[in-house]
Structure 1
């Protein structure tokens, strides 16, 4: 984990966290640091659209009851700033496998849910973005998405190869792990998920169909 600590030190030295992104707690700032240095980001989500693809109206609906107006504005600005990673020079490859429940669970009024799904469809058309949906009706695969997680890869020169991290969170903690056996295990889980989920174009059609049902 020394490479991760060095990355954090460098970002602090550049005063990177003096702006709106200071809204993130210390633990989650590591995730943003990693995202901005990755060449590959793979995300699995089961109950809510991934934070990296949330549109403004959805973020506001999601946190409207927990933040005052100023805090909410900062949270929105910070989360939207993360989406610069999609189009920056040398943008990473970014892939998602998302359960149908993340599309169906209603966090805002119908127009917000439609806008959120449309936003994901739009992002999925970027050449470096791959978005797959795992429907409820996936035979024999009902237990595939048990935990939400992110796999991150940072290119690194030398014979050691790239740095690879596994990230997960729950109500109690955020965890960043780089143990090779654990990363390899969740790489296998990722392979199973992408094999069971809908293809890219089929996922877009599925999302558009769900969006049309919010009325």
Structure 2
């Protein structure tokens, strides 16, 4: 219990979250066990989160906000906590995702994080290191809340056809992942194109990259290596990557043809069933 009394809310977003959770719980006159029973979680979990030993999920935070009538305080803090849990070199990218009015992404071999399902993200993040995997997956999925903003960014994603065939997590995981891509088919804010194998040599052969555009600030290009990210606001680099992206979009399949290819790969390679009619797969 000493940890609870000495928790410093200024030490980190996680400590601040734990401090506020404890303050709200005690203001409601509840013990950790009583709050856990109301939320459907264990007393131990509530205690671990209050003492900054466990990262809260968005689901946990939303339940607390309802139970303790906090006005959404914990849910808002949870987003900050999760962003802070990202590797230091990636935290700037998470900020760019939130600020950008348009995000353009080209991926050569896998579905990018903003479009990943939980199981796909778990397979990707756990391929080398499975420590704190639940927390790391939750943090990655939390980034997708950028699409729930009042004014979400316009998102363009070009996936190499190879990303559809790289069987990450097994057939069931891939089937669910491709369904998620198709679920965005009628969302004008999320546009997914596939660069087919038949495109041959193309201007993205040097690797994946993301391009962030803003209402007033200069565009930023982001590339990534092993354990390190490389954001740059260099204007020449931004112009070059913008031109490359234009050429990649021209070489990629149309939105409709891309969806049809994704649907076909899901059915033929991973055993997915085509929905009746022309409606997108849910």
Residue 99 of structure 1 contacts residue 145 of structure 1 at CA under 8 Å; is this kept in 2?
A: no
Find the counterpart in structure 1 of residue 38 from structure 2. none
Q: CA deviation at 1:49?
A: 0.5
- The 5 A counterparts of 1:176-191 are 176-191=231-246
Q: CA RMSD in A?
A: 2.0
Question: Could you tell which deviates more after superposition, 55-64 or 87-96?
Answer: 55-64
Residue 125 of structure 2 contacts residue 137 of structure 2 at CA under 8 Å; is this kept in 1?
A: no
Please give the alpha-carbon distance, in whole angstroms, between the structure 2 residues aligned to 1:52 and 1:65. Answer: 18
Structure number with larger C-alpha Rg: 2
More helix by share: 2
Q: Which runs of 5+ in 1 are unaligned?
A: 1-11, 157-161
Q: Output the TM-score relative to the length of structure 1.
A: 0.84
Please give the alpha-carbon distance, in whole angstroms, between the structure 1 residues aligned to 2:128 and 2:79. Answer: 23
Question: CA offsets per residue over residues 89-141 of structure 1, 9 Å max, x none?
Answer: 11111001110011101111101001001111112432211110001112xx4
- The 5 A counterparts of 1:161-200 are 162-171=217-226, 173-200=228-255
- The 5 A counterparts of 1:3-18 are none
Find the counterpart in structure 1 of residue 157 from structure 2. 96
Find the counterpart in structure 1 of residue 41 from structure 2. none
Find the counterpart in structure 1 of residue 141 from structure 2. 80
Question: Could you tell which deviates more after superposition, 107-116 or 60-69?
Answer: 60-69
Please give the alpha-carbon distance, in whole angstroms, between the structure 1 residues aligned to 2:127 and 2:159. Answer: 25
1:18/1:185 CA distance change after superposition, 3 Å: closer
Matched residues, number? 195
Please give the alpha-carbon distance, in whole angstroms, between the structure 2 residues aligned to 1:23 and 1:199. Answer: 37
Please give the alpha-carbon distance, in whole angstroms, between the structure 2 residues aligned to 1:112 and 1:210. Answer: 13
Larger RCO, structures 1/2 (Cα 8 Å, 6+ apart): 1
Q: Which runs of 5+ in 2 are unaligned?
A: 1-12, 14-75, 272-282
Find the counterpart in structure 1 of residue 50 from structure 2. none
1:25/1:68 CA distance change after superposition, 3 Å: same
2:168 is paired with a residue whose SS is coil
Q: Output the TM-score relative to the length of structure 2.
A: 0.65
Q: CA deviation at 1:17?
A: 7.4
1:18/1:181 CA distance change after superposition, 3 Å: closer
Find the counterpart in structure 2 of residue 136 from structure 1. 197
Structure 1 consecutive aligned stretches of length 4 or more whose deviation exceeds 6 Å = 14-17
